[in-house]
Structure 1
């Protein structure tokens, strides 16, 4: 497996917006501030080589990034904490980093081994490794790294987590690809309004010297991508709903639904809830916990469409909340899949506009950083979403071969959900576990029967 020295940085510069920002300052919200102790988001896409030189690609990407930053001026700014303790994004056009790197001894197929752990080299395809978001006071809020392989290229993007959630991250990334492909006008403009329920007068008191990440980051971990076809997830969903299965067409619609459609089917356990419940069961089983031990499955939810009135779907910033579902190991394992899936389902459905507002009020009563990690050895945290348009990134020569992430925010029990490359409702789960737990999961027949291994 490639070592950490397998990537060589060949150039680094700062890219600035091609027009000055008309936005002066954006105050961090109740949903942004807790992320100050989280790492920068690191996600990227792997392509086959473009039909032109690397220098042409790099020059094109720099120009496209400059244009994209004009539409997303927040990313070219810096943080500033005012005298009252409020943190703002000052949209001062200070720019973002652009890094060019080489790893010509690596191939596309070589970094996508079948049925193996994710190679370490992907951690080197990103800038701002293990940088916490509070660092945005003196570091750029985003960076793009282009790494040239023997027969491909990886475009990795690191963005401050107090500036974006997953929805906003992929909006920016999709726009960068769209511009690079030659679009004269972008499809979706970001909404930078700050007149939402998340805008608050509450002040987060940060420790002297700034916050630190809330998990060690030093424990041994394994990371693996498990692929689930549409057919496998249909079987899981049918099992979770005690044999009831939707038609294939309705299934595809439900996976990519909006909240209105979901409201009509709120009595039915969804495909993603079914998959999450199976993972929760299997990981809990192989961890060999005491039966009385409480286990927690935490899911991040997008609140844009849950609020009444709804927020703009292209609101740029964090608009997420975390839903914890708790059950003892004994209860989770002694019941069938439907029992755990129904717990997740009920919590997600119940997270309506009133619940979002109560969450805001709860944070305002005791402002705090988000405690990311697995503190009791019995927790799991699901991030990202199979609904994010990760493969809708054509920079001009075709769609990605794979989506991968960096080292950011990873600990025992951290799961990220990606759409499968073939689309059509398939899902990839990026699973990070302690080595002995991963070894047990690979032998868990209840889980592995749904995984595509070739």
Structure 2
């Protein structure tokens, strides 16, 4: 395995959108709550392009400048404003907004000499965390740092036989849905510039923030004189990560097993509502709980990040460019009961949590947050729970910048903790899913001995290598 400390940054440049009138976009409750979290760190692995490395970086930067014409808030910075009591003049709170003044994003060019694609994405093995961490800019950055740091940065790292494109994106600016819409539009512009595809339709991202009453959204006011008072940096943890593949057939089998168990238990409604997501979540929740060796009376829950756009009434458009996610959770279950009950019971519990996340439930949570504003920190994550983030619906493998589709999707160290799983689309498509699972080392060792878990995992295939000419 190559040394994990050989990535060298060769150059850095700033890319800005075309000049436009200055604009302010307030961070509302869903956005402001993210200020103490890390940047989104997602990356894509590609075969080595035919063009020279410098031409590739120039190509990415030029297309990115074109994309920022429509996604100009990505090139902004955060700015804060104090709110004072009208009578006493005392500071009663602080808010944050996006200052859209074309400050720019960063594009870095790096090289990892001697590192191959197989080193970056080894099949059926641990994720090389130390190596991957160097493929992402703004390492360990917190979202509140968007006052001085770019809200978006990209690093193109040359490998011996490929290239890794690592994105660092401020999560207080928007969620993963909006992020991947932006990246896919950028990629479509890049293909069009090479004459490989027609120019894409002009995107219509909606920067107007949602308001519960349907009016103009005001900024979320946090209970502090300076937002830095609420920011906490998590202590780095010893963790292991595995990328686990679930084929469409494997997921169908998991779902059918849960369905049969629910029908046998007389829960026809639960069986009818089953999804592949519920079946996979059940497997993860039960097997992670078993690997942790929790005391039978210890309570645990399965939580998942869920998109609010289609659940609100009226619905928010897909193009809503901001955060609109919540973590929903099952009713707590005692570890002993969870493991004694069938796979189908846990899948149905996840289904009930999803079904309960209605427009009324969302609005109630917004009202509760407004009464007592807060930001998410590491202390909000339950060490006995299983957390599922990201989404297999994100079009990661559609990001072709002009030299072919990605071969693998990976992430950095950001926002990782014991029991966190991020779901990605499977490389071969067809409804397959890849799960990025993070556990403490001793818990991963126990999971590796879990027959129920590995019966559902599909052996991963090596990253395909380009055919050599004779």
Indicate how the Cα distance of structure 1 residues 23 and 92 shifts in structure 2: closer, same or farther if over 3 A, else same.
Answer: closer
Matches for 1:41-440 after TM superposition, within 5 Å: 41-84=40-83, 85-119=94-128, 120-182=130-192, 183-186=198-201, 188-197=203-212, 199-200=217-218, 202-206=220-224, 209-213=228-232, 215-216=234-235, 218-242=236-260, 267-325=272-330, 326-372=332-378, 376-440=382-446
Tell me the TM-score normalized by structure 1. Answer: 0.91
In structure 2, distance between residues paired with 1:349 and 1:209 = 36
4+ residue runs of structure 1 moved beyond 6 angstroms?
A: none
Cα deviation for residue 109 of structure 1 reads 2.2
Cα deviation for residue 407 of structure 1 reads 1.0
1:9 aligns with 2:9: yes
2:463 is matched with none
Cα deviation for residue 434 of structure 1 reads 0.2
In structure 1, distance between residues paired with 2:19 and 2:219 = 29
1:253 is matched with none
Post-superposition Cα deviations, 1:279-303, rounded to whole Å, max 9, x if no partner, equal 1000101111111111122111000
In structure 2, distance between residues paired with 1:175 and 1:93 = 19
Q: Is the 8 A contact 1:43 1:158 kept in 2?
A: yes
Range with bigger deviation, 180-189 or 360-369: 180-189
Post-superposition Cα deviations, 1:82-105, rounded to whole Å, max 9, x if no partner, equal 132221001010001111000131
Cα deviation for residue 202 of structure 1 reads 4.5
Indicate how the Cα distance of structure 1 residues 46 and 187 shifts in structure 2: closer, same or farther if over 3 A, else same.
Answer: farther
1:254 is matched with none
Cα deviation for residue 452 of structure 1 reads 1.5
Q: Report the secondary structure of 1:14's partner residue.
A: strand
1:248 is matched with none
In structure 1, distance between residues paired with 2:22 and 2:2 = 43
Tell me the TM-score normalized by structure 2. Answer: 0.88
Indicate how the Cα distance of structure 1 residues 21 and 243 shifts in structure 2: closer, same or farther if over 3 A, else same.
Answer: farther
Q: Is the 8 A contact 2:16 2:102 kept in 1?
A: yes
Range with bigger deviation, 234-243 or 127-136: 234-243
Q: Report the secondary structure of 1:93's partner residue.
A: coil
Cα deviation for residue 373 of structure 1 reads 5.7
Post-superposition Cα deviations, 1:150-190, rounded to whole Å, max 9, x if no partner, equal 11111111111100211011011111111111153446321
Cα deviation for residue 195 of structure 1 reads 4.2
Indicate how the Cα distance of structure 1 residues 57 and 279 shifts in structure 2: closer, same or farther if over 3 A, else same.
Answer: same
Q: Report the secondary structure of 1:36's partner residue.
A: coil
Q: Show structure 2 runs of 5+ residues with no match.
A: 84-93, 193-197, 264-268, 461-470
Range with bigger deviation, 376-385 or 136-145: 376-385
In structure 1, distance between residues paired with 2:110 and 2:139 = 15
Q: Report the secondary structure of 2:146's partner residue.
A: helix
Range with bigger deviation, 6-15 or 192-201: 192-201
Task: Report how many aligned residue pairs link the two structures.
Answer: 434
Cα deviation for residue 210 of structure 1 reads 4.5
Q: Show structure 1 runs of 5+ residues with no match.
A: 246-263
Q: Is the 8 A contact 2:35 2:144 kept in 1?
A: yes
Q: Report the secondary structure of 2:396's partner residue.
A: coil
Q: In angstroms, what is the RMSD of aligned CA positions?
A: 2.0
In structure 2, distance between residues paired with 1:188 and 1:265 = 39
Q: Is the 8 A contact 2:188 2:199 kept in 1?
A: no
Q: Report the secondary structure of 1:109's partner residue.
A: helix
Cα deviation for residue 200 of structure 1 reads 4.9
In structure 2, distance between residues paired with 1:152 and 1:343 = 43
Q: Is the 8 A contact 1:134 1:211 kept in 2?
A: no
Q: Is the 8 A contact 2:14 2:106 kept in 1?
A: yes
